Amino acid sequence: MATRFRTVGAAQMASATGDIAANLAVHRDFIAQAAAVGVDVLVFPELSLVGHYGAEALLDVAMSRSDPRLLELSRAAGDMRIVVGFVEESAGAQFYNAAAVLQNGRLLYIHRKINLPSYGRLIETKYYAHGRFVDTHAMDEDWVMGLLICADLYNPALVHLAFLHGATFLAAPISSGREAVGDEFDNPWSWATTIQFYAMMYGAPLVMVNRVGTEGDLSFWGGSRILDAHGRVLAQGGASEELITAQLDYADTRRARAMLPTVRDSNLALVQRETNRLIERLGVPDVVRDE
């Protein structure tokens, strides 16, 4: 059954690097805060359970998707859907920067980060395998979550695919330090511009949640935001730990998409044809394999 209104939250937190137990306690506190104000969907930052540099202790922090600590956190969430970030260990000792949707003691959906940055001070390809799929998580008939992690949103094709797969709401857990890309690159401004563009262009509300505090050589600026389907800011975080919330109305998405039908007019057949033509012309190797 469809629900017109959703109350969403962004849990802007500072993770303790590599300390899963400490971070679980922070998650439980935010879950309690969110439950008290009726949040339906609560999004935590990228790698929220291990910290930005948690993968430096890769074998100690990696968790399977059936890890009891994830399932315990899912039970604590109850009917609320929560999106948490962790290092997933998959079959064959493959490690992923992953985000999981948890509810009522179950892991409902998982996204593995696809666009792993290896520029500036970012070295994720040292630790993680690339995710290989863009998909969505249906919360009901109307609200369909697209879930992409940080630099995934800096590959516009991935965002486009999420919306073509039916997303009507985008969750964007990030881990953005001011110094991550370079001194001449304004990360806070870049993120504000990027998410406003996507929300407005696709007629879809968006939750972007960043971390705060300092880890290693990076200072995290917070600035988490919840945007409506017209790209307007409904709630915005500061530079410290806090919970921000807003109510989303599916009627806004209907109006926005009627006015600007980006998804309707995407012309997928043309995109597929031209992509195949590029592959043939450039000799791009087929690197996608079923797992």
In this structure, is residue 131 part of a structural domain?
yes
Number of Cβ within 10 Å of residue 176's Cβ equals 23
In this structure, is residue 44 part of a structural domain?
yes
* Interval 90-102: pLDDT, tens: 999 999 999 999 9
Higher pLDDT: 283 or 95? It is: 95
Total of domains in the chain: 1
Q: What is the pLDDT of residue 92?
A: 95
Q: How far apart are CA 72 and CA 187, in angstroms?
A: 34
How far is CA 48 from its chain centroid?
11
In this structure, is residue 288 part of a structural domain?
no
Res. 283 pLDDT band, cuts 50 70 90: confident
Least confident of 73-77, 95-99, 251-255, 281-285: 281-285
In this structure, is residue 77 part of a structural domain?
yes
* Interval 194-221: pLDDT, tens: 999 999 999 999 999 999 999 999 999 9
User: Once rounded to an integer, what is the mean pLDDT over residues 181-206?
Assistant: 97
In this structure, is residue 141 part of a structural domain?
yes
> Where does residue 147 fall: left (phi above 0), alpha (psi -120 to 50 degrees), or beta otherwise?
beta
In angstroms, the first-to-last Cα distance of the chain is: 33
* Interval 29-57: pLDDT, tens: 999 999 999 999 999 999 999 999 999 99
* Interval 133-170: pLDDT, tens: 999 999 999 999 999 999 999 999 999 999 999 999 99
pLDDT at 287 over 90: no
Under 8 Å between Cβ of 13 and 209: no
Q: How far apart are CA 133 and CA 110, in angstroms?
A: 10
pLDDT at 280 over 80: yes
Res. 2 pLDDT band, cuts 50 70 90: confident
In this structure, is residue 286 part of a structural domain?
no
User: Once rounded to an integer, what is the mean pLDDT over residues 247-260?
Assistant: 97
Residue type, 9: G
pLDDT at 290 over 70: no
Res. 285 pLDDT band, cuts 50 70 90: low
In this structure, is residue 71 part of a structural domain?
yes
In this structure, is residue 271 part of a structural domain?
no
Share of the chain above pLDDT 90, in %: 94
Diameter of the chain by CA atoms?
57
The CATH number linked to 117 is: 3.60.110.10
Q: What is the pLDDT of residue 286?
A: 57
Domain assignment of residue 259, given as a range = 5-265
* Interval 224-234: pLDDT, tens: 999 999 999 99
* Interval 15-32: pLDDT, tens: 999 999 999 999 999 999
Question: For residue 182, what are the contacts with CB-CB under 8 A and spacing of at least 6?
Answer: 120
Q: How far apart are CA 62 and CA 229, in angstroms?
A: 36
Higher pLDDT: 210 or 271? It is: 210
